[in-house]
Structure 1
Amino acid sequence: MSRYRFLLTPTWLGWLAVCVGFAVACVFLGQWQLDRREQAMEDINRVVANYDEDPVPYAEVRELYRSPEADDEWTVTTLRGEYLSDDVRLVRNRGHSGSVGYEQVVPFRTHDGDVVVISRGWLPTDSTDASRPAYMPEPPRGEAEVTVRLKPGEPDIDRDAPDGQLASIDLDEYETQLGYDLVTGAYGLMAGEDPAPDQQPRQLARPELDEGPHLSYSMQWYAFGLLGFVGWGYAARLTARNRDLDVIAEEEDGKERAAGTASSGVSRQERLREARRRRRERAGRASDEDVEDAWVDERLGSR
């Protein structure tokens, strides 16, 4: 253990503290990735549990649209009533299949008097004027039946939008613009409507059931934390070995001086190299280079 006493010096203890701090940071980052994976798995489980279920009448899940829980997302619902087409809005900057466009939202008054916001789907931007959609399909007039999937309302993103548009599906902001009561807990994402109009927005894609690379990333962070200690230990081992070689070289110098055979022309680097070679020979780990050097020394000595 005495050969590793240098590890108790302030320099080596300081580097150990750096390794500990790095490992702690890696543990937090690894846990953060695991938390993200857990959230992704919860999202996937909600899709699996709700997305393809048979629709239930709005009257049976009315309270879910007022105060939805996380597990209520994607609940399939049937509503009967009529669109309030004059109050349609466009939600800006909505992505779909790698493109950015608009999402068309329309209030829908049910038979029991509730007004639920329906997202009818996605619209591409006009090729000549990105401030408006390429087309604006009208909702069905009169009595209609719509099948939707429940989505919680979105938060205010503190961004302005032109008249007739919304920055996000912030149901409270939408209600303020309209001046009448909306169901503000959740809205319905279109799955189908009857009667079907001649022209409809594009339906948004089914959510992907992909948990992402969070598990592998978390394992990488934990591995990085361990590698800091491995590097510290490897550096300590090299330092201890070099210190041993210094001692061996000094002993050899002392023996040569005592015998009167010391050579002042031999550099310290060469003496260290010789000490390493002798150490390998004693340990039975002579390299090919050592064998060649020994053969050359033997031949030269025999002349």
Structure 2
Amino acid sequence: MHVLRTILRPGWIALGVVVAAFAVACFTLLAPWQLGKNSDTEHRNDLIRAATSLETVPLAEIAPTSTLDPSTEWREVEVTGRYLEDRQALVRLRNIQERPAVVVLTPFAVNGSDRVILINRGFVRPVEGGVPDVPSPPAGEQTIEGRIRAAEGVSADRGFRADNGVLTVPSINPGVVATATSTPMDDFYLQLSPDQPGALGEIPLPQLDTGPYLSYGLQWLAFGVMAPLGVLYFLISEIRTRRRASAAKVAAAGEDSAAAGGAVVAESTPAAEASASASRAERRRQMREELRAASGTTVVHNVGRIGHGPVAEDTVGDVRDATPDPRSQDGEVRDKLNRRYGG
């Protein structure tokens, strides 16, 4: 019951709700998010390894339609057509090789079809307070090679805009460029390979490592386990502390009761001693009275009278009460004198 009262305190209830919500978030949201990114990175690395080990093939063989097959991403393809420079767009606020960069996107019309593919030509370095100088792509028919890439995501609140007559978009997304230029395009783009017609600054392939996502996911799982265990530890500690405090309080109460009992005994001892003294005094008084009574019951007096020998008398009471008759005493004295001296 004491444990239940401790658990049902408002503070512990609130902490339990917060920790439970945190643990649920760790197991259902945070850890899966990081582990999912780790899985995606591993899948990307596998695709890159496979793609770099294969030869370049025509675009129609790998991507016959405008829809991307995810298993073909990073494959290098060859396509013939021409650049549409008038529909070019820039992607700002990029970081390539640890420096700011502007990515250049130019649509490419495929020969022999109505397909238009967005080409990532590479990057140029930005200039402060203005639009960077972007070299024009070569005119006319060109055969280029590039790697198939999936379109990047874009926020709903971010769209294209015109900056000093130059189209800028928030990400490499063919749909956004198609909307801005009113030109239908395939839903993937090609990242131009080095030394190709119209190529700019080379964008290197991603490093083939999984990054920290696996460790982050494991950390969130550990946090989801450790948080409830931490609350349980502190709860048990408080219960033990309260039990020790209760035991100490009971012991202190017992000591106080013993001290009070000793005080009562100490207070009753003088009274008992006084009662014993009074009993002894009473007994002595009774003994004295008994002795006085016994001494007054039979007292033998040897009274010497003039001219007579001693007379034994039984006297009840005090000796002063046994007074001889004076007339009797005078007659006896005369008789004695007459016998001695003759008279």
TM-score normalised to structure 2 length: 0.64
Listed as ranges, the gaps of 5+ residues in structure 1 are 262-303
1:21 to 17, 21, 36: 17
1:137 to 126, 129, 135: 135
8 Å contact from structure 1 (residues 154, 171) kept in 2: no
1:33 is matched with 30
CA drift at 1:146: 1.6
8 Å contact from structure 2 (residues 6, 239) kept in 1: no
The superposition leaves residues 172-195 of structure 1 with CA deviations (integer Å, 9 ceiling, x where unpaired) of: 332233333322x11122233534
Structure 1 residue 118 and structure 2 residue 119: aligned? yes
1:260 to 251, 256, 263: 263
Structure 1 residue 45 and structure 2 residue 42: aligned? yes
CA drift at 1:149: 3.1
8 Å contact from structure 1 (residues 51, 76) kept in 2: no
8 Å contact from structure 1 (residues 116, 187) kept in 2: yes
CA drift at 1:70: 5.0
Structure 2 counterpart of 1:39, one-letter code: G
CA drift at 1:109: 1.9
1:189 to 182, 188, 191: 191
2:217 to 207, 210, 214: 214
Gap change, CA 1:132 and 1:181, over 3 Å in 2? same
Structure 1 residue 228 and structure 2 residue 231: aligned? yes
2:181 to 172, 178, 183: 178
Which stretch of structure 1 is more off in the superposition, 249-258 or 44-53?
44-53
2:253 is matched with 250
The superposition leaves residues 133-181 of structure 1 with CA deviations (integer Å, 9 ceiling, x where unpaired) of: 2x41333443222222322253354245223222333323322333333
Q: Relative contact order: is structure 1 or structure 2 higher (C-alpha 8 Å, sep ≥ 6)?
A: 1
CA drift at 1:240: 0.8
Query: Counterparts of 1:70 and 1:222 in 2: how far apart (Å)?
Result: 36
Structure 2 counterpart of 1:49, one-letter code: D
Which stretch of structure 1 is more off in the superposition, 250-259 or 85-94?
85-94
8 Å contact from structure 1 (residues 80, 143) kept in 2: yes
CA drift at 1:46: 2.6
CA drift at 1:120: 1.4
User: How many pairs does the alignment contain?
Assistant: 250
1:6 is matched with 2
Query: Counterparts of 2:174 and 2:194 in 1: how far apart (Å)?
Result: 22
Query: Counterparts of 1:216 and 1:115 in 2: how far apart (Å)?
Result: 45
8 Å contact from structure 1 (residues 144, 193) kept in 2: no
- Alpha-carbon RMSD across the aligned residues, in angstroms, is 2.7
Gap change, CA 1:146 and 1:27, over 3 Å in 2? same
Structure 1 residue 166 and structure 2 residue 169: aligned? yes
Gap change, CA 1:167 and 1:100, over 3 Å in 2? same
Gap change, CA 1:169 and 1:221, over 3 Å in 2? same
The superposition leaves residues 245-302 of structure 1 with CA deviations (integer Å, 9 ceiling, x where unpaired) of: 11111111111221129xxxxxxxxxxxxxxxxxxxxxxxxxxxxxxxxxxxxxxxxx
Query: Counterparts of 2:229 and 2:68 in 1: how far apart (Å)?
Result: 43
Gap change, CA 1:124 and 1:86, over 3 Å in 2? same
Structure 2 counterpart of 1:151, one-letter code: A
CA drift at 1:236: 1.0
CA drift at 1:100: 3.2
Structural mapping, 1:277-292, within 5 Å = none
Q: What SS does the corresponding residue of 2:16 show, helix, strand or coil?
A: helix
The superposition leaves residues 188-210 of structure 1 with CA deviations (integer Å, 9 ceiling, x where unpaired) of: 22233534x6x722414515531
CA drift at 1:16: 4.3
Structure 1 residue 59 and structure 2 residue 57: aligned? no
Gap change, CA 1:16 and 1:176, over 3 Å in 2? closer
Query: Counterparts of 1:232 and 1:12 in 2: how far apart (Å)?
Result: 11
Q: What SS does the corresponding residue of 1:148 show, helix, strand or coil?
A: strand
Query: Counterparts of 2:30 and 2:121 in 1: how far apart (Å)?
Result: 35
Quote the sequence identity (%).
Answer: 16
TM-score normalised to structure 1 length: 0.72
1:150 is matched with 149
Gap change, CA 1:24 and 1:6, over 3 Å in 2? same
Query: Counterparts of 1:75 and 1:257 in 2: how far apart (Å)?
Result: 95
CA drift at 1:220: 2.1
